[in-house]
Structure 1
Amino acid sequence: MILLHRGLERARPLLLIEAERLENLARDLRAIAGGTSPSPADLHAAPVVDLWRWSSRSMRTVVGTLQGHPRLPDGPVHTTELWAVDLKRRWARTLSRYYVLGDPHVETDHGV
């Protein structure tokens, strides 16, 4: 996740790097969807992962109460992973779309 409220000049290089990575991924996914597998040269240049296994890793998301999504009903939501956030302007860009950030959740201590 890239934090834009800390200044666009600091964030710009990171945004451009991530944009290029995502464009490369999109290009490869379109090729695979069209029936094109990685070339022998692509696989020859690729690093090897030996003794591999499946795993998962956490990515930062937004959890809250949704309003006005074009496909999902209003109510509790857990967004896709965050790519950019501007807390000053109160927006977030997830993998799938922009969101406006309303009021943040406030932790309360009830003496527990």
Structure 2
Amino acid sequence: MRKLVIFVALAAVLYSPAEKTFTEDGPPFPIQQVSRGKDKTILLMEATAYCYTGRRTASGTWPSEERTIAADPAILPLGTKVYIDGFGCRIVEDTGKDIKGNRIDVYIKSHAAAVKFGRQNLNVTVLE
């Protein structure tokens, strides 16, 4: 019960009228949508980076620096192809316990490079 109260309180604090929310079937938290064209959606997302963990991704593949990102499957389902400004095309192949809502985690081979990446706000264009 305590976790539910904290979650509801956090959602109330984070909500702002300028942000869009998903339908009843979507997540209960706000997602900032930058643009929506006929064939694409562009989301402004908080990006972090992660490096090799020794395990396969949630989709069963081995992570690849030129391909793999982690995202919340309620926002970007596994297998979704996206274009990330500054990184190019990637595929959502992984999830993470801390990757919830408007966040992505970009796979980078080097631990030092992942730490240097830090947190960035990036435009993510949904391709398919």
Q: TM over 0.5, yes or no?
A: no
- The structure whose RCO (Cα within 8 Å, separation 6+) is larger is 2
TM norm structure 2: 0.27
Structure ID, larger Rg: 1
